[in-house]
Amino acid sequence: MAPKSKLPSTDFLPSSLTDPALPLPTMIVFDLDYTLWPFWVDTHVTPPLKPIDAFTVVDRVGESFALYREVPSILHALSRAGIQLAVASRTSAPELAREMLKLLHVPAPPPLPSAIPPPAERGRGGRGGRSAGGGGIVDLDDEIHWEKPRRALELFDAPLEIYPRSKIAHFEALAKKTGVKFEDMLFFDDENRNREVESLGVTMKLVRDGVTWDEIEKGVEAWWRRRGHVTKNLPE
């Protein structure tokens, strides 16, 4: 787990989640299989793993594996917003799951427009870029701080509860280790049986084919409703 190094920012969240009158969950927890990635890590993956690029790994028999398409931007945006990110998975291959999270990288989002200097200011040494000098061409990449891809594992700054126990046990461990109240947690999972965590006070959003921004918005909407906030009532 890595501490967040930037001040919280909602700039990368959908506008529907940036109403200052509505709070965001303190912690968002994700299952792994068919939630963050489209496979069962303990069934479909044959170790050892080998990265073929920053965003894809292959196993011993040549099968390739990656995160669902929208997951990278989701993890980055939620982390930037100051939301603690955790994992609760009952996989029987916890070490392999952790290895997958280490090897799969998440590309950084493009810089915000506010981070790109206007044309009139490009090439000025005072902005951190190199001077064009003599009318030379200025490489805009020299003017912008481009972030490097990060390991998916690094975006989770709350515990990773990855072991074959009930999700009740996972969430009890999360609450004990972090001090976050159950009612301040939002959980995304692909198995309906795991709604049992709602008996603790956790809000769970069932996903059918991986986490998407649409699912994130609906999940936060459900969390708002359980906390009694008046919202625009997105369909479930």
| Model confidence at 128: pLDDT above 50 | no
Beta carbons of 157 and 84 less than 8 angstroms apart: yes
For residue range 151-170, list pLDDT tens digits in order.
999 999 999 999 999 999 99
Beta carbons of 209 and 52 less than 8 angstroms apart: no
Q: Rounded to an integer, what distance in angstroms lies between the CA atom of residue 207 and that of residue 200? A: 20
Q: What's the confidence (pLDDT) of residue 119? A: 53
> 114 phi and psi, to 5 degrees?
-65, -20
| Model confidence at 105: pLDDT above 60 | yes
- Contacts of residue 45, defined as CB under 8 A and 6 or more positions apart, other chains included, come to 39, 59, 63, 65, 93, 96, 100
The DSSP-derived string for 147-198 is PPPEEGGGG--S-EEESSS-HHHHHHHHHHHH---GGGEEEEES-GGGGGGG
The vertex-151 CA angle with 146 and 152, nearest 5°, equals 110
| Model confidence at 234: pLDDT above 80 | no
pLDDT band at 130 (very low <50, low <70, confident <90, very high): very low
- What burial class does residue 174 get, using C-beta atoms within 10 Å of its C-beta: 0-12 exposed, 13-18 middle, 19+ buried? buried
Domains and their CATH numbers in the chain: 1-12+28-110+141-166+177-211 (3.40.50.1000)
Q: What's the confidence (pLDDT) of residue 120? A: 55
This prediction's pTM:
0.82
Query: What mean pLDDT value characterizes the chain?
Result: 86
Mean pLDDT of 49-55: 95
How crowded is residue 142: how many other Cβ atoms within 10 Å of its Cβ?
A: 13
| Model confidence at 236: pLDDT above 70 | no
How crowded is residue 179: how many other Cβ atoms within 10 Å of its Cβ?
A: 8
Q: What's the confidence (pLDDT) of residue 126? A: 43
For residue range 64-86, list pLDDT tens digits in order.
999 999 999 999 999 999 999 99
Q: What's the confidence (pLDDT) of residue 186? A: 99
Q: Rounded to an integer, what distance in angstroms lies between the CA atom of residue 140 and that of residue 122? A: 8
Identify the bridge partners of residue 57 per DSSP, sorted by sequence position: 51, 65
Q: What's the confidence (pLDDT) of residue 47? A: 98
Beta carbons of 33 and 41 less than 8 angstroms apart: yes
pLDDT band at 231 (very low <50, low <70, confident <90, very high): low
| Model confidence at 61: pLDDT above 80 | yes
- Residues classed as catalytic: 31, 33
Q: Rounded to an integer, what distance in angstroms lies between the CA atom of residue 206 and that of residue 35? A: 9
The strand ranges marked E within the chain are: 27-30, 50-53, 56-58, 64-65, 84-89, 105-106, 150-151, 160-162, 185-189, 203-206
| Model confidence at 88: pLDDT above 80 | yes
Q: What's the confidence (pLDDT) of residue 215? A: 98
